[in-house]
């Protein structure tokens, strides 16, 4: 029953992870003075938009929205663990010759937490909107 919702959540989690990886590389490039800081601020609304689209796209049920949200977070965590185990991000940093100091790495962790928090907050708001919309439609009937 929820196969499509689970697939949409997994795809949304993958897109969120890809945005996080791109944000990681962009942050390292910013610390290395390769790019301007303005590029970093693009990732936060993109992450939130990805989460909202994952939850609301062609969705009419709050239950389906909750399933998509849960699967999105679980798949995001799974991608983070898997790619972290493989060591892809450090390999990309080395390929682009982007080295950061330990302080910048600590700040990067905070930036990534804020990124995922923005996605979670946007998702919760999208689920609440979906629930309110569903309640209004039931009242009209």
pLDDT of residue 1: 65
State what percent of residues in the chain have pLDDT above 90.
16
Mean pLDDT score of the chain? 84
Residues in the chain: 141
pLDDT tens column, 2-58: 888 899 999 999 999 888 888 888 888 888 777 777 777 888 888 889 999 988 888
pLDDT tens column, 91-111: 777 777 777 677 777 777 788
* Secondary structure (3-state) at 89: helix
Burial of 26 (0-12, 13-18, 19+ CB in 10 A): buried
Q: How much is the CA Rg of the chain, to the nearest whole Å?
A: 17
């Amino acid at each position: 029953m929820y196969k499509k919702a689970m697939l949409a959540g997994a795809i949304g989690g993958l897109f969120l992870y890809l945005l996080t990886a791109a944000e990681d590389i962009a942050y390292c490039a910013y610390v290395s003075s390769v790019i301007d800081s303005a590029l970093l601020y693009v990732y936060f609304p993109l992450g939130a938009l990805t989460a909202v689209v994952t939850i609301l796209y062609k969705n009419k049920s709050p239950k389906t929205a909750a399933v998509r949200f849960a699967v999105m977070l679980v798949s995001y965590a799974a991608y983070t663990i898997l790619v972290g185990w493989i060591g892809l991000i450090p390999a990309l940093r080395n390929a682009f010759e982007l080295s950061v100091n330990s302080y910048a790495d600590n700040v990067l962790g905070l930036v990534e937490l804020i990124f995922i928090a923005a996605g979670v907050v946007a998702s919760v708001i999208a689920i609440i909107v979906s629930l309110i919309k569903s309640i209004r439609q039931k009242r009209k009937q």
